[in-house]
Amino acid sequence: MTELMDGRMTAKKVEDDLKIKIGLLRERGKRTPQLTVVLVGDHPASLSYVAGKDKACQRIGMNSEVLRLPRTISQTELIKVVQRLNDDSQVDGILVQLPLPAELDPQEVVRAIDPSKDVDGLHPINVGLMHMQLKGFEPCTPRGILRLLDEYQIPLQGKDIVVIGRSNLVGRPVAQLLLNRNATVTVCHSKTADLQRYTRAADVVVVAIGRPHFLRKEHVSSKCVVIDVGINRLENGKLTGDADFDALNGYVSHITPVPGGVGPMTIAMLLENTMDAYYAHEALREV
Ligand code: NAP
């Protein structure tokens, strides 16, 4: 029997908790937390992700603002927008939706965000804090993966965990968070010589590569927990992950479905990070 790790249900628990907290703030006449998302251009997937984040804010009563900017905006103008949001005391969280148009430098834009409002956890200061196991914002997808593992009481300490993929967005930070929890972590990538050698021996495999149905039965043991981060749209329009779900379901110990696994957790962690930013900003104002 394979247990499905339900990201929708787990995300709803997080959202319900945040909704109560925001309700209490309202009752006490306090300011409402605000997330501002900056969207440059009209990349269809980005439009859909931004709409999902906006709806999630509405569900929990968080203020949500989406700044839609033309794809022709210059780097300087975009950075000015970010700086204005940094200075706006109503804004707790700033997220610049990636990818940006090719002419813009995403690293420079992310570095312009005030680290105390960087609820996506991508500013080098927050990345550094995470590596040093100090308090900062953890990136949403890796944090969501850890939360889902905890929800299903998957032990991490001393376990052999393989992360496939080494992007700054998912692979590297999730490997770091797992290491911070005392797992023995191996990071594999496109140049790994013998992937199966690592994955067959793993207690947990996190696959984040963007290749539909890549992780198959022969890659893993039947005791493995499979976390599928991939979001791939097939020609028939269906969304699928990086794991061969149909083959692994019924064989492995646990698996996350796509959709309904890691995706909803990412949004829930964005809301949670924004709430944490709010508390930190309010605490500073009271000093
Ligand atoms: P990315 O930046 O394209 O990185 C892909 C990584 O996969 C790279 O490190 C690459 O290795 C590795 N890779 C590619 N082909 C491989 C292969 N055949 N064997 C082993 N490693 C391979 O992608 P990303 O941003 O991390 O995203 C990965 C997937 O997760 C995508 O499908 C994306 O849509 C999805 N995603 C989902 C969420 C969510 O909320 N669920 C959030 C973010 C991303 P090299 O470094 O050697 O090139």
- Residue 92 known to be catalytic: no
Phi and psi angles of residue 186, each rounded to the nearest 5 degrees, phi first: -115, 130
* Cα distances (angstroms) measured from residue 273 to each of 45, 139, 166, 245: 23, 9, 23, 30
pTM of the model: 0.97
Mean pLDDT across 158-177: 98
* The pLDDT value given to residue 285: 86
Mean pLDDT across 251-268: 98
Residue with CA nearest ligand 1 atom 6: 165
Q: Which of 53, 209, 233 should be mutated for ligand 1, with most atoms under 8 A from CB?
A: 209
Task: Say yes or no to pLDDT of 75 above 90.
Answer: yes
Pairing of strands 3-4, 225-228: unpaired
* Residue ranges covered by each domain of the chain: 29-114, 140-263
Q: Which of the listed CATH numbers 3.40.50.1220, 1.10.3470.10, 3.40.50.10860, 3.40.50.720 matches domain 140-263?
A: 3.40.50.720
pLDDT-derived band of residue 273, with 50, 70 and 90 as boundaries?
very high
Mean pLDDT across 15-26: 98
Strand runs labelled E in the chain: 3-4, 34-40, 63-69, 93-96, 160-164, 184-188, 204-207, 225-228, 232-233, 239-240, 254-255
Separation CA 186–CA 194 (nearest Å): 13
- Tokens 């690592």 belong to 198
pLDDT-derived band of residue 73, with 50, 70 and 90 as boundaries?
very high
Separation CA 104–CA 39 (nearest Å): 13
pLDDT-derived band of residue 31, with 50, 70 and 90 as boundaries?
very high
Separation CA 287–CA 283 (nearest Å): 7
Across all residues in the chain, what is the average pLDDT? 97
- Tokens 């995403």 belong to 106
Strand runs labelled E in 28-170: 34-40, 63-69, 93-96, 160-164
Separation CA 122–CA 241 (nearest Å): 23
pLDDT-derived band of residue 286, with 50, 70 and 90 as boundaries?
confident
* The pLDDT value given to residue 15: 98
Pairing of strands 232-233, 239-240: antiparallel
- Residue 97 known to be catalytic: yes
Mean pLDDT across 176-199: 98
Pairing of strands 63-69, 34-40: parallel
- Greatest Cα pair distance, the chain, in angstroms, is 59
* The pLDDT value given to residue 287: 78
Q: Which of 170, 188, 194, 239 should be mutated for ligand 1, with most atoms under 8 A from CB?
A: 170
Q: Is 208 helix (H, G, I), strand (E, B) or coil?
A: coil
List the catalytic residue out of 34, 117, 118, 120: 120
Q: Decide if 29-114 and 140-263 have a common fold.
A: yes
CATH 3.30.360.10 for the 29-114 domain, yes or no: no
- What one-character-per-residue DSSP string does 160-197 give? EEEEE---TTTHHHHHHHHHHTT-EEEEE-TT-S-HHH
